[in-house]
Chain A
Amino acid sequence: MIAKPVSHIGGGRPLLKFLRDQIKPRGPLLTPFNLISIPTILLGIAILVVRFVYGLGSVTNLSQAYPWGLWIGFDVVTGVAFAGGAYVLTFVVYVMRMEKYHPIVRATVLNGLLAYVFYAGALVLDLGRPWHVVNPIIGNSFGFNSVLFLVAWHFMLYMMAEVIEFSPAVAEWLGLKRARRILGSLTLGAVIFGVTLSTLHQSGLGALYLMAKPKIHPLWYTEFIPILFFVSSIFSGLSMIILEGTISERVFSAQIDKKHRHSHEDLLFGLGKGAAISLFVYYFFKLLVFLHGRQWNLLDSKWGALYLVEVLGFVLVPCVLFTYAVRNRRVGLLRVAAVGALIGILLNRLNTSIIAFNWNSPAHYIPSWEEFVVTLTVVFAEIWVFRWIVLRMPVLREAHELPQPRPFEQSRAA
């Protein structure tokens, strides 16, 4: 896609020079974020080397009773829920054509794409025999009746759909007008496909735990786990957009055009409204499952307390906060609600996958410091790539006003 139009212009030189120029770091090197993230990433890489030479046991606290730990429970199961914003927003903008939200689509899709590449990519770090990761793809062995087979395929296909959704920004960055037009025409198809895949794998991540019935505490195990995971991914994604938008506004303020900044608050309240509604639906589902299971007697234990903290403190309370913030137009409160809802997601996913997993067994699992470092490495690496792209491609700023002169345009004119 990149090489062809350039050779048409004549010679790959300008593009190479352009890329070389683009790859250089921009901005000050000694920022607090860099000072924390660079050592962490280096340490994380060292840990991963040890992990691939001496096995998973050398750096993780995983055991026969806890085959899945932080790398799956947080990086994959929670990370994918956090990345749900991309499918929700593309649905709203391209399918429902709510143009109001168009300015934040690119940043959200980029976030979603990178989250999938890094967090779902972290899955490979957790595989004991990663060189066989292609087996379910190339047709060597299709485990059709496996939920994980479905999730794996959908991760892969969804990443492709997101690449297509984001590709117009890359084409604009490279100044490829024709490619931009062609790629732009693929967007709607990619969105419809992507929303469908997201529906299935967000719920699929929950369905993974359906067969762990005897291991998960009954307050978290329900046959409706896939539906709960799907519904919660909606407000999870929306909350992440609100939070991420708030951070981007400060960090990348030079990139955000005036028009966007003015309408930004209005967008946030719209997203908050969506989050409040989906939170309420989720809370209602949770309540139905609870009542239907007649689980009152389970509340009188430490598990019951944990459950109440999760469902009341981090589902119902954020729901009320979102509603109040939207009605009274309080941006600060909206952000608090978003953080609360995200903590609720984190609690729910970790409770299902780690904390209430093996609740009735003597086995314990507390992640090792190495597992935390690798998780941080994954998050930091994602932020580095996000920052690199945002500072170069038209993600936050309006597409038409490109700051740097584009070499191929000049060579074409010459």
Chain B
Amino acid sequence: MNRRDFMKVGTAAGATLVAGRSAAAETGNPEEFVGVLVDTTRCIGCRACERACSEAHGLPVPDIEHDQALAAKRDTSETQWTVVNRFETSKGEVFVKKQCMHCSQPACGAACLTNAMYKTRTGPVIWRGDKCMGCRYCMVSCPFEMPKFEYDSWNPKLQKCSMCYERQQQGLGPACVGACPTDALTFGPKRELMETARLRIYHHPDRYVHKIYGENEVGGTGWLYLSAVPFEELGFRMDLGTTPYPEYTRDFLYGVPLVLFGLPALQLGLHLLSDRDKKALEGATS
């Protein structure tokens, strides 16, 4: 067996191992994007997901029994990757979990000039500290304003939900999903989550609005939401469009090579054409 064959076998064995693990995580095909379906009609606002998330990522653990945090609307922060908010709606109180949406084509990933914000092959969008230079262009670009920056640190990190990418590699699901007592959260391949969501709407056409938030928003997101009330009432932005955000800069970037090679040629031509007299020519090189 030569070296190349050995490498092949080794890679195949590795791939099998990874595939085996992924199967255990019920992700099926490892090349398929995974996500989480949030059924807001099932959420009771217990915030067990918040606690599980903080514990899993070494963040300050909120005292969910006593801190009365539901009284005010909160945003995720550099110390909290996910928050649950309470909304008074036309159908009573509704709780909504908020975290990074894990876009199929993330703006942050396209914005990042070092690939620190990175869309993994299985779906989670993760942050890689060894690459990040802290320019915060991801924050400017993210339509959901999810990356949060540690402004009070000399060595700041960008903090946001990683969909527990490390746990997924060990064959586990996200910590929040495991902590949810009411099955409001479902983890799996997006394709299956879409089927589940559609099935629920189909079986209970009166319980849900006939929309799955995240199906097409910003080109599709990994996290999907079901709701009993129009999503506007739950603080969701409905004006983000269905175009994947990297598309907005695509035309410009496609134009770059044209300008980079075309403009020097044009200028050289102009330079030669503008050969007015001998004197001018001498001056041009001084």
Contact = CB atoms under 8 A, between A and B. Distances in A.
Interface of A: 52-58, 60, 62-65, 67-68, 91, 93-97, 99, 102, 123, 126-130, 132-133, 135-136, 140-143, 145-150, 152, 168, 184-185, 187-188, 192-193, 195-196, 199-200, 203-204, 207-215, 223, 226
B110 interface: yes
A127 B248 contact: no
Contact of B249 (A64, A95, A126, A207): A207
B151 A62 contact: yes
B153 A145 contact: no
A234 B286 CA distance: 24
Given A64-B149, A94-B284, A214 B239 contact: yes
B151 A57 contact: yes
B133 A132 contact: yes
A148 B237 CA distance: 26
Contact of B153 (A55, A146, A168, A200): A55
Contacts of B41: none
B156 A55 contact: yes
A211 B141 contact: yes
A132 B285 contact: no
26 contacts: A67-B137, A96-B270, A97-B274, A97-B281, A97-B284, A128-B156, A129-B132, A130-B133, A132-B130, A132-B133, A136-B114, A141-B114, A141-B115, A143-B113, A145-B110, A146-B137, A148-B137, A187-B285, A192-B268, A196-B267, A211-B111, A211-B245, A211-B246, A211-B248, A213-B143, A223-B251
Given A95-B270, A97-B283, A200-B260, 14 more contacts: A55-B150, A64-B78, A64-B148, A97-B276, A135-B114, A140-B114, A140-B131, A141-B131, A150-B256, A188-B285, A200-B256, A203-B252, A208-B140, A223-B251
B132 A132 contact: yes
B54 interface: no
B259 interface: yes
B145 interface: yes
B252 A128 contact: no
A96 B131 CA distance: 43
Q: Most A CB atoms within 10 A — which of B150, B253, B268? A: B253
B154 A146 contact: no
B75 interface: yes
A67 B136 CA distance: 6
Contacts of A145: 110, 246, 249, 253
A365 B130 CA distance: 30
B152 interface: yes
Given A146-B137, A211-B245, A56 B256 contact: no
Contacts of A204: 252
A376 B176 CA distance: 48
Nearest to B245: A211
Contacts of B130: 132
A61 B276 CA distance: 55
Given A67-B140, A211-B107, A143 B252 contact: no
Interface string B106-119: 01001111111000
A9 to B, nearest CB: 24
B135 interface: yes
B163 to A, nearest CB: 20
B234 interface: no
Given A64-B77, A207-B252, A226-B252, A149 B135 contact: no
Contacts of A200: 256, 259-260
